Amino acid sequence: MIAKAIDSYGCDSRELFHRAGLDHDRLTQPLARFSYGALQRLWVIAQEATGDPCFSLRVASFWHPTTFHALGYSWLASRNLEEAFERLVRYSSVVSTAAKGALRIEKSRDSFCLVADTDHVTPPPVPVAMESGMASILAMCRGAYGNRFRPLEVQMRHPEPSCVDQFVEHFRAPVRFSQPRYAMCIDPAVASESLATANPELVRVNDQVVTDYLARLDREDVVMRVRSELIERLPSGQVDEAEIASAVNLSRRSLQRKLRERGVSFSELLDSSRRELGLQYVRDAQYSLNEVAYLLGFAEPGNFSRAFKRWYGKSPSQYRLHP
């Protein structure tokens, strides 16, 4: 996105990448990752070279679903924007490992807000990067909801740029600078509205791709590695804790300790993985409920039905009739 934006001004993105200490040739490698620190340098160099105080908005205009790996397609296929935002928070490391744990959702009766807590990100992201992040999320929302989407307001921590009117025009909403936080707030009714792009099968497939990718990316993230193994093994029913521990190259005791350090247990991960997958399968009418039970590793359909009612307050058949 940054390279395309730089070139669109008639500047040489290859030369600016070199100045930032980045290998421009790696842009042709789909799974290449770039250093967070070097990217922060690139943002500053690029904005200075283009001379555009609203460079961030140009960058966001080049957003495409493949920009964020399979997360972009999971976003577009989500049931509603609330589910899409939750997916972005859960898988934020796809976009940047520096963002891990920095995103959260705040809900109230009047607003649904995605908040970016940058206090613990080192070095702090430069303003142009955060502006582009918010503008990219806007593009994602409009891609799923439609061009009529507009936030209630957008909040930025840094001072107002000289092109503030372009921000207001771009977001079609109040954009407030020098605020205590970075946030995008939307109408709760808009957040819960069903999306025409929703597709439970694509969500399930792309979520698994994202989970597998993150498990490979961060070998220290034992939670993501266990989730990846669980998703793969559930249909076979091979979800024994000792076997999963062996699959992630840990003893059972070491796995229990590492999970405990993350504030979760194996049984809780198994339950949450089944819960999330179960909802996606039940929403997909091509699967019978007996098939769903099998795909989640339940020995009996009745066990699945009781578990689903515990999770969502309705039996699977009731949920299909009245989601």
Tell the burial category of 281 from Cβ atoms under 10 Å away from its Cβ (0-12, 13-18, 19+).
Answer: buried
Please give the average per-residue pLDDT across 160-189, as a whole number: 97
pLDDT classification of 25: cutoffs 50, 70, 90: very high
Q: Is the pLDDT reported for residue 216 higher than 90?
A: no
Q: How far is CA 2 from the centre of its chain?
A: 20
> What is the model's pLDDT at position 101?
83
- Cα separations (Å) of 158 from 59, 115, 118, 126? 19, 15, 12, 9
Tokens of 279: 């909802």
Tokens of 316: 């699977």
Residue with tokens 């290998």: 23
pLDDT classification of 148: cutoffs 50, 70, 90: very high
Q: Is the pLDDT reported for residue 16 higher than 90?
A: yes
pLDDT tens per residue across span 117-142? 998 888 899 999 999 999 999 999 99
Tokens of 301: 């359909």
Q: Please name each of the domains of the chain with its CATH number.
A: 2-51 (no CATH), 66-192 (no CATH), 219-321 (1.10.10.60)
> What is the model's pLDDT at position 71?
94
Contact 278, 255 (CB under 8 A): no
Say whether pTM exceeds 0.75: yes
Torsion of CA 209, 214, 219, 220, to 10 degrees: -140
Alpha helices in 172-313 (DSSP H): 188-192, 200-217, 222-233, 241-247, 252-261, 266-283, 289-295, 301-312
Higher pLDDT, 67 or 238: 67
Residue (of 272, 140, 277) closest to 207 by Cα position: 277
